Copies of this chain bind each other. A is one copy, B any other.
Amino acid sequence: MSDIGHNSIAPDSNERLISLVDRIERLNDERKNISDDIKDVYVEAKSAGYDVKVLRRVISDRAKDAAEVEEQDAIRDMYLKVVGLY
């Protein structure tokens, strides 16, 4: 009886599994390299005198749509108005 349909261990072949693992691991490596590149750019920004923390926030804001950013800012203002900023 075939394993297919039983959520089994080795539905196809060992080679298939090895291939999948290799591909994922390779992609993970690529992604990590890009993350390192991003880190480098932030270091460069810092060297140029920019405020990295704020820069991250700006990047994050641009990733959302403008409406959402403005709404969250508005909520924040309301909360701060209620509890005060001390």
Contacts and interface: CB of A to CB of B under 8 A. Distances in A.
A39 B12 CA distance: 20
Chain A residues touching B, range: 35 or more
A84 to B, nearest CB: 7
A79 B49 CA distance: 13
Contacts of A49: 3-8, 11-12
Contacts of A9: 51, 74-75, 78, 82-84
Interface string A50-86: 1101110111011100100100101110111111111
Contacts of A57: 75-76, 78
Given A3-B49, A24-B38, A66-B85, 8 more contacts: A7-B82, A8-B82, A8-B84, A28-B38, A54-B76, A57-B78, A62-B84, A62-B85
